[in-house]
Structures are given as C-alpha cells and as structure tokens.
Structure 1
Amino acid sequence: MFLKGKTALVTGSTSGIGLAYAKALAAEGANVLINGFGDAAAIEQERQGLEATSGGKAVYSAADMSKPDEIVAMVEDCAKTLGGVDILINNAGIQHVAPIEEFPVEKWDAIIAINLSSAFHTIRAALPGMKAKKWGRIINTASAHSLTASPFKSAYVTAKHGLAGLTKTVALEAATFGVTANCISPGYVWTPLVEKQIPDTMKARNMTREQVMNDVLLAGQPTKQFVTSEQVASLAIYLCTDGAAQITGANLSIDGGWTAA
C-alpha cells in the first residue's frame, strides 16, 4: 500500500472508469473522495467498500462539475476532511452525438463545462497545495478523441483536445515542484457513458445496435476488444509511483492500437 497517507480526489467516480480509479487507489491505501451522481444507497455502499479496502477514509461529494463554486468547495472540503489533495484525477464526462448543424447549444455548453472546464477549476484549486508539499499527481482522463476525431462528436472531441493542451501547460508550470500532470487516453471502454451513446449513434448513422458496436465503436481498435476500466486504472496507479516521476506532460494511449493507425 504505497499510497498510505495520501489523499486522492476523483471526479465522476460513482461508476465506470472513475470508480475503477477509486478502487485501485484505495487498494494502495489512499484516502479517497469520490464524486458524481447516482443512487444514494449504491454510492454509500461503494464508499464503505473503499474504506474497507484502504483501511483509511472515503468520502462522497455531490458537487456538480458544471458549477465552478461547487468544484472549489469540493476541493476545500476534501482538504478539511481527508487532508490536501495529493492525487487529482479529472474523470467527469458526458457525451452527446449529433451532426454539428443539429447539435444543441446547451449540450455543447454542458460538455465543454464538465469535460474540460471542470478540470481547470479542480487543478486551479488543488495545485497550490501540491506545490507546497513538493509532490502531486494530476491525471486527466482524455480519450483517443484527444488525438483524433470522429463525426457527430464536435463538443466531445473539442473538449478532449483542449484537455490534452491543458495537461501540457500544467505539466510545464509544475515541473520543478515534484508535481506531474498527464493524460490517459482510452479507446472505447465499456462504461455507462458508452452504452448511453449507442441509441444516438444509431440515429445519427442510421445503423442497428450491432452495427454501431462492430462498425463504429470497435472499428478503429485493431484488437477488436473494449478496453477495461481496470486496465485504465492500473495505468493511473503506475503514474502515481516514484518510477513515473519523470513522466509529465504525456498523453498515454490505451486504445487497442486505435491511434497507431
């Protein structure tokens, strides 16, 4: 448990990749703050499970990642309850699939706010404490779409490209303070976010569910397999080790070979 005594904050972590991050961090002894929406009883069960795993503390924040004041309050509450944030994983994300001329403006604004701007707000709030400790790990869940594009996902692709740029900038600013900042860019991971976009993609592309699965989602992944949440989380854990101290400003693909093409 090499993260005993460290505090991790993971946004968008009540399910999917985010919850896998939280479980992996707890398994290494970290105190964890989880965040997101969902059934209260299910979230409480996960919170208790994290404490049982880590032997430390786990807390839940319902902060809305589209609201900067709630984001800042979450970081401050984390510091008061668990100690200052040592590991920050920005994972909150939403998706909408539509041709750009039909893309609802409110969906664009929400995706940019939650997938990109929320990371700015968490980093801005957490980085001073990391600098003061001379240690920190900032990990942003980007996407293969931070490196390439797909049709009908204008807001998501824009947000993920922006997140990659933000990560590089933070890495340079924090480079002499023992703080690293990196992106993890998964390909298609079977999560609720991916599952929910299938009907919209069926409509946008006039395809069946099976066609979307095989000809859209897995078409670009040479392995023809979904990435697992646990595989993504294992990469994040490595980035928290001393062995990864000189990895910063990187965009690390875990996409079954998608962006190799």
Structure 2
Amino acid sequence: MSERKAALVTGSTSGIGLAVATAFAKAGMDVTLNGLGDAGEIESIRSVLEREAGVTVRYDGANLMQAEACTGMVESAIGAFGRLDVLVNNAGIQFVSPIEDFPVEKWNAIIALNLSASFHTIRAAMRGMKERRYGRIINIASAHAHVASPFKSAYVAAKHGVLGLTKTVALEGAMFNVRCNAISPGYVFTTLVEGQIPDTMKARGLTRDQVINDVLLAAQPTKEFVKVEQIAGVALFLTSPAADEINGAALNVDGGWTAA
C-alpha cells in the first residue's frame, strides 16, 4: 500500500471537483474520482492525471443517489488505498422553480445528492478516520448555505443542511484529529455556465457583458467569477498543517456576496 495520503472527491469528473482532485494529485495524494460522463473521457482524465502527477488515480462510478452506493464507494476507496485521509463532498445538481410548482421528484433528487450523499459518505468514512486519528472532510457548500434566492427551495435547503452537517461532524471529530469544514463558493465559472450565456443573451436581448454583470453576477460584488482553481486552492489549504485548527468553518469564496 502507498504511504501517500488518500483522497476521495465526489463529482470530480468535471468542474470544481476535477480541479480539487487535480490539485490533490499534484500535491502527491492518491485520488479516487467519482462522477458522471462519457466512459472514454473519464478514463482519459484518470490516466492523464495519474501519469502527470505520478500518483495512483482510480475511478468509482457510484450512484450517489443511493445510500448503499455511497457507502460502497468509501469502502472501496479504503480497500484500494488502505485508508481514507481526505473526503471531499462536491457532487450536486440544481433545479429552479416556484415552490408551488416544484416537482417532488426534483426536491427528492436534490436533497439526496446535495445533502444525504454527504451524510452517507461521512458516516462510512468517520469510524476509520477516528481510529487512525486523522481525517480531513471538506463539504462544498455554496453562498446559498448562508443566503437564499427565489425559486431554489431544494438547493438552498440542502446547502443550509450541508453547513449544519459540517458543524456537527466537526464537533464529533474534534478530539480525534478529524476536521470538517465547508467551502461556500459564489458563482463559479464553468463550461456549463459559459454555455448558458448565449441563450440568455438571446432570450433577454442583452449583450454578453450585460448577462455576466447584470444576471449571472448580480449578487457578486466583485463582478468576477470564482475560478475552479481558486476553490481547489482553498481545499488544498484545508488539508495542510496550517489549517489544523480550522474546524466547523465555512470559508466563503464568493466575491463578497454574503458580506452584505
């Protein structure tokens, strides 16, 4: 078994999760990827990252909507690497609708993936972390863990729940050198967001700059997107000795959105 730290990052085949997994691997951690996508593309991501970072990178396609799959993924990662040192819960989905029209199945799906999956993975990882007296758990929350927006009842509820879960786990792990923190991003620039800009320009009759500043970044005072690499940098910091006394915190990376 490798003596390197072992990390598991959910929702890590693209976006924030992939940036975090990449940062971890380049810092010398063995990594388990998880997420959706084309099988060939995922294998390419895995193999390139493994080769470039010089660590072991594996992929687990567990369906995080299912409790048993969450548990099995954690157990598989521990079996592969001998332990799990770092767990990042990042996977999530979104749906926007007035609450009176919000489909019940969408509510259930968002709560299952954005909140319950984090509970299941932490539950599966916690005992081993306590026994080894080391663990770093990072939950990717959101500015919506602190403030609400209309039409996002399930997402806001889930992210508020993630923050409560983070604080509770932080207290339970404190005496065992298990730290649990959250990162609360604002609007993050991803290919998914970029793809929405032309449609919004057409639908609202706005310029690209107007869409970015007046629609997407309306709540973000810096009028700048958060970069996935910035979130990854904060996650890597939370695994460093400098962050050993940060526990139960939510690090806001939102350009000042939640400062108001």
1:41 aligns with 2:40: yes
CA gap of 1:50–1:37, structure 2 versus 1, over 3 A, is same
Structure 1 segment 1-261 matched on structure 2, within 5 A: 5-192=4-191, 194=193, 207=204, 210=208, 212-261=211-260
Deviations 1:141-161 (A, max 9, x none): 000000101111111000000
**2-structure distance, mates of 1:86, 1:17:** 20
**Aligned AA (2:28):** G
**1-structure distance, mates of 2:220, 2:113:** 26
**1-structure distance, mates of 2:77, 2:196:** 32
Kindly indicate whether the alpha-carbon contact (under 8 Å) linking 1:184 and 1:251 is maintained by their aligned counterparts in 2: yes
Deviations 1:81-105 (A, max 9, x none): 1221100000000001111111111
**97-106 vs 185-194, greater mean Cα deviation:** 185-194
Query: Secondary structure in 1 aligned to 2:107?
Result: helix
TM-score using structure 2 length: 0.93
In structure 1, runs of 5+ residues without a counterpart are: none
Shift of 1:4: 6.4
**Aligned AA (2:246):** I
Shift of 1:183: 0.4
CA gap of 1:144–1:197, structure 2 versus 1, over 3 A, is farther
Deviations 1:207-252 (A, max 9, x none): 4575653323201111101000000000000000111000000011
Kindly indicate whether the alpha-carbon contact (under 8 Å) linking 1:97 and 1:197 is maintained by their aligned counterparts in 2: no
Paired residues, number? 255
Shift of 1:50: 2.1
TM-score using structure 1 length: 0.92
**79-88 vs 6-15, greater mean Cα deviation:** 79-88
Shift of 1:191: 2.2
Query: Secondary structure in 2 aligned to 1:149?
Result: coil
**Cα-Cα RMSD:** 1.9
**Aligned AA (1:28):** A
**2-structure distance, mates of 1:159, 1:47:** 30
Q: Structure 1 segments of 4 or more deviating over 6 A? A: 196-200
**2-structure distance, mates of 1:19, 1:222:** 26
**1-structure distance, mates of 2:254, 2:41:** 30
**1-structure distance, mates of 2:151, 2:195:** 15
